[in-house]
Chains A and B, each alone.
Chain A
């Protein structure tokens, strides 16, 4: 991993050009949709990464994604508010909810946080399901009008890629800032961090809010990409998918969740003809990775280097 700085810049630049030109090279709209969804899921997986490095696993990410999605859908359909305002509003609202929930649950230990977020995901899905007047109930909200600038998956791709780059930059910046070592120390030894006068609670809160903010924004984009939103899009199975992406990629570096998401999403695209077996493949990948590759794909590379 000891790349020199100029070399790293060249690689990043090349990767950037490839990513920007991708929709031009691959013209199939089906793949445009997949690529866009990969960017959005990678944002969610990166959000999970932000809290996973603090030893927290959230099962509520699908719900926060859904929250952003429903907010955009409702604001566009019922109040005719411009997309950009609705989008930011969805992200901020997700962050606010995360803040309130965080105040209540972030003092808990790992397992309890996990249990609460699991219950929370179910609670939110049932709200989407039951509050028919606003959320459309079981059928959800359909024919959400996308803004003219974003009326095809190929165009939404650039917005999603932009969000992914911003999220990634945010994570990298945080890790390389003065804050970075503190993050790692919080997982290793909470008492030590406290003894230096730093509040582990505030660290967890910051990352948790950032995690849900980006997740909400990603969900908001999905509303105009898919153009509909309904409760089953955000159930526990979806939350599990994001975790699989993260676990498969590994959490040694923020590139892990992105790679994990990309590989598994492409795999899932090829599995479309046997859609009903997808949970079987994902479940196996998850269990096998946990048992045989505890560090995920990144762990594999680390081992070879050593």
Chain B
């Protein structure tokens, strides 16, 4: 394939050489680092795929030129591999020098399962908890990284006979990463009885001294590649064995499972709590896309690199230069600055360079802000125009309704009511968008204020009473627009479900920021539902939407309910949140320095 060959890097020749039978010698001399091959397969400017410049023999490849009025710039990349000499697949991270300060992972998560099974061992319900991204302080090892506590609660559905607990390195496709699990405890509580607590840690080994491939009593290795599940020694306190999954396989995953035969009996109606601590770090391998917005004129280097499953650099890297070409008038500007620099070259050379660097920085900032302002302006204009028109529609429909109240059929009245309500709901939706794109709202504190206000509005209109547990003040931590918006939509979805299905009297909204996690809980005192059974379609869509919103931003959504006990929806987001790829946000600065 012609285009293919054009963007093969110089060292890609080794792969072809290997195919020709010279491989072994070269791999041996190149070491494991030389085995993985990465390639940037496409540059996409505003949705249009651009050719990648050819690399002259032995030379530096020409840069990709991007017009400065381009809105989005995306890079597609992948790992090309013909053997497993390195011993595993690469975890792909990327960065755009000139924009990013750290390597960025593609979004990925591991999972914890707390399942209820019936007499036959069939799964009849339970919880599926993603463990996204990286736990705070992750240092590349499950043995020495800090662990963070997690707990899941669920009410056992009808015909429950037991529970199954699993920890796995799989949440959709292409996940690579490491997971350590410690301090596990399972408890079952029944109204009016002492809760039965079963500590699952420390692990016991009747087979002698634990080794990586030993089997702790009661546990099983499963998954599509069971040997990825290993036993490690955690250094904390007394060194002790823990469960780990070290997954460097893009296609397959490992899983630690313990079944109902070992765990205490659980019966329907029991509240089952699974608590543990975890240290983990997940990313994706195989292929990925990185998207950027609003790049200021200047030179950038896109880099994609291979890392090991634990996040250590594997040494392989591929680079592509990108030049965002300034518009003509700016180029004259730069030219003038350059001429000035020449005149003053003898004395001021150093100063001129730093001034130009500063200017570039300022321009980049200015451009980011201009983009934000422009977005906010468009949204506001839309809102003012559409909002006013919709308000007019709503008020006219309302007037019609009163006008014809005595003569119209109930159907006609209901229809006018419907017009009115839809118009009002639309204004509120546009509100939320305007609020989300306004950079002035990019903090947790502003988010909380808006959340309280919109929840209050919504619940007041529905005639429900409410309780808020939202600390004040909250830190002014940056919280990017896309994340705020999705969080808000997830909460709205939850409130919608309460109003439509729960038959509740009161709703409690709480927001907590602790242990590197932002947790928003929406709890009602309504009729609840059976978590184990698929809910009615409309309700199901709502719940699915909520999960999707949270997944998009690397968070989770857990639902805990049983008939007659109300419903508790918990939205969780690792804190500080990782901005979505391409998000032009101040939140990026909050990420700690990456490894590699």
Do A and B form a real pair? no
Which positions in A face B, CB cutoff 8 Å? Answer: none
